[in-house]
Amino acid sequence: MKFSKLSLLLFSIIDLACSQTIYTEDIIEGNKVITKLDINDLPERSISYLWFKVPANMVGINSHVPLMVKKGTNDGPRFLLNSGFHGDEYNGIRVVQDTFHSIDENKLNGTLVAVTYASPGAMAGGRMFYVTNSATGGIVDVNRNFKLSPTPIDIGSLMTDGLWKNLYSNNNFTACVDMHGASAGDSYPNLIYGDVRVEYTNRMFELSGADIVKLEIGNATITGYLEDALNQINVPTISYEIGYGLSIQADQIKRSNEFMKRIMADLKMIPEITDKDSISRYEAAQKKTLALNELHIAKNTLGGIVIPCVSLLDKIEAGQVVAHVINPYGHVIEEIKTKVDGYVMMIIRNPASDPLRNIAFISRVNPDESCKLGGCFVP
């Protein structure tokens, strides 16, 4: 059957009218720019590289979030991998990229959506926060602004408003992993934060083989975390903290990539994992996973060079010295001690420290009923 040019034009107009993805007329580095994504518009067995447009900066220049979508053989589950909210956390970005490119769209059941530089301003600055220079200036932590408010009230909520309404919340994701890591100058092990009340979040805990699972009770209106916001609209989500800040750690990336594939296999998006070495690594790590529900932060009161006395995952006792502060003469001027027994969940790497810096995170199991679901804190 042949169609006239007019018929084909009418079909194209109808198709565009039905499409919920909103394209601008812009092309950046050969890829289309959008302000809204609707997975339903994309064809099966396809790979899409897009730019998601976010609000203009103080001189009227827009930023764009890199977005990759791989759609398989049918609608199926929808898995969101997010990274790049903080510009000093690189491991998670590589996990997202590696996982995305390792999946064959012809064997994929469902859709994999991958976000890399979710805060372009923070990424460009190479620091945790997006720094604004208008008026007296300020800093914006994008991942503290998903508070589910209907109307943006400041630059932080304005930056997240479009991402939330037109990418994260409107695509009926089955599950999400939001990738993070320690801030610049700090170190984490392989660590998960998650809301224990969410059923599939608990399943992701089981599949992780992480060093520590930190149990939380999330509330997006308080925290503004993407994790909590998605959980509140019934999208099971974890925050995945991977290793050191300002680092690319091949071992952490490989370990995390295998975890992402276990989730996808569990969701029936890809075939069951059969690689014996991968299974063996997971089983060994799973036996060591610590599920902890309470956090204590050890701080310094004096500025100076801080010399850690403990390492990640060390089991320590209340009163134990976790670090020394030394002055320019090399004299110890302060001993920083933990108030509680527990495990070292974070320790600094950059020793130069202003007063009241977070030197170490100590996490433990508090058996009190009020801490059963997590989220407890020792001041």
Is residue 63 located within the same domain as residue 134?
yes
pLDDT at residue 55, as a whole number: 86
Residues 270 and 321 in one domain: no
Q: Is residue 102 part of a domain?
A: yes
- Do residues 137 and 238 share a domain? yes
Same domain, yes or no, for 254 and 308? no
Q: Is residue 379 a part of any domain in this protein? A: no
Do 120 and 52 fall within a single domain?
Answer: yes
Residue 4 lies in a domain: no
148 in the same domain as 33:
yes
Judge whether 8 lies within some domain.
no
Alpha carbon 253 to its chain centroid, in Å, reads 14
Q: Which CATH number characterizes residue 194's domain?
A: 3.40.630.10
**Domain coverage including residue 306:** 294-371
Give the domain-ending residue among 244, 274, 292.
Answer: 292
- Quote the pLDDT of residue 135: 62
Gap between the Cα atoms of 304 and 332, Å rounded: 10
Task: Tell me: do 318 and 220 sit in the same domain.
Answer: no
Asked if residue 71 lies in contact with residue 39, where contact means CB atoms within 8 angstroms, the answer is: yes
Burial of 348 (0-12, 13-18, 19+ CB in 10 A): buried
In a domain, 12, yes or no: no
Domain end marker among 292, 310, 326: 292
How remote is the C-alpha of 357 from its chain's centroid? 23
From first to last of its 379 residues, the chain has per-residue pLDDT tens of 444 444 444 444 444 445 599 999 999 999 999 999 999 999 999 999 999 999 877 778 889 999 999 999 989 999 999 999 999 999 999 999 999 999 999 999 999 999 999 999 999 999 999 888 766 667 889 999 999 988 998 888 888 999 999 999 999 999 999 999 999 999 999 999 999 999 999 999 999 999 999 999 999 999 999 999 999 999 999 999 999 999 999 999 999 999 999 999 999 999 999 999 999 999 999 999 999 999 999 999 999 999 999 999 999 999 999 999 999 999 999 999 999 999 999 999 999 999 999 999 999 999 999 999 999 999 8
pTM of the model: 0.93
Domain assignment present for 378: no
- Biggest alpha carbon distance in the chain? 88
Question: For residue 11, is it within any domain?
Answer: no
Q: What is the DSSP letter of 373?
A: T
Asked if residue 9 is part of any domain, the answer here is no
Q: Write down which residue in 264, 292, 320 finishes a domain.
A: 292
Alpha-carbon distance 355 to 333, whole Å? Answer: 12
d(CA 197, CA 189): 24
CATH number at residue 322: 2.40.50.100
